[in-house]
Chains A and B, each alone.
Chain A
Amino acid sequence: MPTYVKNKPLEHIELELLLEGVFRQYGFDFRKYALASLRRRISTAIQAEGLATISELQNKVLHDPDCMERLVLTLSINVTKLFRDPSFYIAFRQKAVPVMRTYPFIRIWHAGCATGEEVYSMAILLEEEGLYERARIYATDMNEAVVKKAQAGIFPMKSMKEYTANYQEAGGTRPFSEYYTAQYDSAILRPELRRNVVFSAHNLATDGSFNEFNVILCRNVMIYFNQVLQERAQTLFRESLVNFGILALGRKESLRASTHEEFFEPLDTGERLYRRVK
């Protein structure tokens, strides 16, 4: 359990110094992350490292790259599931797939892919809709270690029961076991599912656009950004989408009150699917 720190003004100074130091030494920019949840995760890291203050964490992190690697893992939330939010995939099949059928070639950017669960879910969906052959998914995350994990496509066997239920609820009709082979405690996803997936490191806080896309998925990633960084990422998405390209956000994220709202129209209001219209 993270210790709740009360000494507020000093803690703010320490936090700013830590984030500044991490950015300058390692290039990871957490300075514009949403504060409340960032503070919680830093408390968790302090506890896990057996330290007492943010300053001690700063000292350790700056001198010890292994500690930095652990910190990046703690600060980035990589909790996700295959076919998480099944209703999203149903809406995607109904509203986005018909649009995608009109494209001869479909470029998809999965921004903030974490350990890849949602990337493989999309690959399975495209395969079932007969679109996989003409699709290419660019799956990116800021953390290279996490991207490698995503690329491996190996998930705990004990999660497969839940994932199978998600898959069925998401409109899947095949036996889900077709998509993986069981080996000891692991489920290894069929390698063909990543035939058209390109995994790479990309940081929404510091990197720019790298291609033009028909679909961009960025679900439950920008909730960790403050409004300034959110604005940056949304600009990046708008500039990277073709006209009438589709943007998919998390269930409780929206473009409401964003300066980009006027460039998009909702494709599915409940599941936060948008279409770029200008």
Chain B
Amino acid sequence: MSQTGIVVIGASLGGLRAVETLLGGLPAGFPLPVAIIQHREAGSDDRLSDLLQGHAALPVGEAEDKEAIAPGRVYLAPADYHLLVENGHFALSTEPPVWFARPAIDVLFESAAEARGAQVIGVVLSGSNEDGARGLAAVRRCGGIAVVQDPATAESSAMPNAAIAAAKPDEILPLEGIAPFLVRVCEGVRPVREGT
């Protein structure tokens, strides 16, 4: 991963514990920016980022419109906004929900794939709908790395299963294995892809 690398993570209701575990496994010196979609209620406030900060060595905060994307920081999509990756910064949008979700995982993943191509690592965690499947497929199609939480280790397996079917991910990993995998990729170990 080069300087423009970015990790994008999607989790739905029931995926909060998975996000906590994943963030807990990322060391303080983790070199990439991390953007997270956690499906949530429209009226939610900053408490979610406070909660996640309690599990993370990296600084966690809600992304603002046009905020510069900085390495080693965790950006959470604010409630009731889609979060998109632009050239060097984030953008927000209040377009209609996708899969009944705003923020939606597909929106973040597709914009990241479009903006940063092969420098994207997409991770789909536990969830009970199909959001993230299209987005992860876009990440993979644009040359990025697609990772899905092993459905057997997910509180809700529908979202991982949909992502596996749609994106044919590079890695299907147990929850505890995802953070170490991200660290290894940052150290230059890229998964070998067959037939592409």
User: Which residues of A does B touch, CB under 8 Å?
Assistant: 1, 4, 6, 8, 34-37, 39-41, 77, 79-80, 220, 222-224, 227, 230, 250-254, 256-257
On whether the beta carbons of B95 and A250 are closer than 8 Å, the reply is no
On whether the beta carbons of A257 and B66 are closer than 8 Å, the reply is yes
Expressed in whole angstroms, the minimum distance between the Cβ of A273 and any Cβ of chain B is 16
On whether the beta carbons of A252 and B93 are closer than 8 Å, the reply is no
* Distance A169 CA – B95 CA, assembled complex (angstroms): 24
Provide the residues of chain B in CB contact with A77, threshold 8 Å: 93-95
* Distance A227 CA – B95 CA, assembled complex (angstroms): 19
Q: Is the interface of A mostly helix, strand, loop or mixed?
A: loop
A-B contact pairs, 28 of them (CB 8 A): A4-B110, A4-B138, A4-B141, A34-B84, A36-B85, A36-B91, A37-B91, A37-B93, A37-B111, A39-B114, A40-B95, A40-B110, A77-B94, A79-B96, A80-B94, A220-B92, A223-B65, A223-B93, A223-B94, A251-B78, A252-B62, A252-B63, A252-B64, A252-B78, A252-B92, A253-B64, A253-B92, A257-B68
On whether the beta carbons of A6 and B141 are closer than 8 Å, the reply is yes
Provide the residues of chain A in CB contact with B65, threshold 8 Å: 222-223, 250, 252-254
Chain A residue, CB-CB nearest to B117: A8
B171 within 8 A of partner (CB):
no
Provide the residues of chain A in CB contact with B94, threshold 8 Å: 77, 79-80, 220, 223
* Distance A226 CA – B10 CA, assembled complex (angstroms): 26
Provide the residues of chain B in CB contact with A251, threshold 8 Å: 78
B17 within 8 A of partner (CB):
no
* Distance A227 CA – B90 CA, assembled complex (angstroms): 11
Provide the residues of chain A in CB contact with B91, threshold 8 Å: 34, 36-37, 223
B168 within 8 A of partner (CB):
no
Provide the residues of chain B in CB contact with A223, threshold 8 Å: 65, 81, 91-94
* Distance A251 CA – B42 CA, assembled complex (angstroms): 13
Provide the residues of chain A in CB contact with B115, threshold 8 Å: 36
* Distance A230 CA – B91 CA, assembled complex (angstroms): 12
Chain B residue, CB-CB nearest to A221: B94
Provide the residues of chain B in CB contact with A35, threshold 8 Å: 86-87
The 5 A-B pairs with the shortest beta carbon distances in the complex, nearest first, are A36-B84, A36-B111, A37-B93, A223-B65, A34-B91
Which of B92, B96, B134 has the most A CB atoms < 10 Å from its CB? B92
Expressed in whole angstroms, the minimum distance between the Cβ of A75 and any Cβ of chain B is 11
Chain A residue, CB-CB nearest to B68: A257
Provide the residues of chain A in CB contact with B96, threshold 8 Å: 79
B179 within 8 A of partner (CB):
no
* Distance A165 CA – B134 CA, assembled complex (angstroms): 35
On whether the beta carbons of A37 and B63 are closer than 8 Å, the reply is no
Provide the residues of chain A in CB contact with B64, threshold 8 Å: 252-254, 256
On whether the beta carbons of B81 and A36 are closer than 8 Å, the reply is no
Provide the residues of chain A in CB contact with B93, threshold 8 Å: 37, 40, 77, 223-224
Provide the residues of chain A in CB contact with B84, threshold 8 Å: 34, 36-37
Chain B residue, CB-CB nearest to A224: B93
Which of B64, B65, B82, B111 has the most A CB atoms < 10 Å from its CB? B65
B142 within 8 A of partner (CB):
yes
Whether A227 contacts B66 in the complex (CB less than 8 A), given A4-B134, A36-B91, A77-B95, comes out as yes
On whether the beta carbons of B142 and A6 are closer than 8 Å, the reply is yes
Provide the residues of chain B in CB contact with A79, threshold 8 Å: 94-96
Expressed in whole angstroms, the minimum distance between the Cβ of B153 and any Cβ of chain A is 29
A interface footprint on B60-92 (CB within 8 Å = 1, 0 otherwise) = 001111101000000000100110111100011
Whether A37 contacts B78 in the complex (CB less than 8 A), given A6-B141, A253-B65, A257-B66, comes out as no
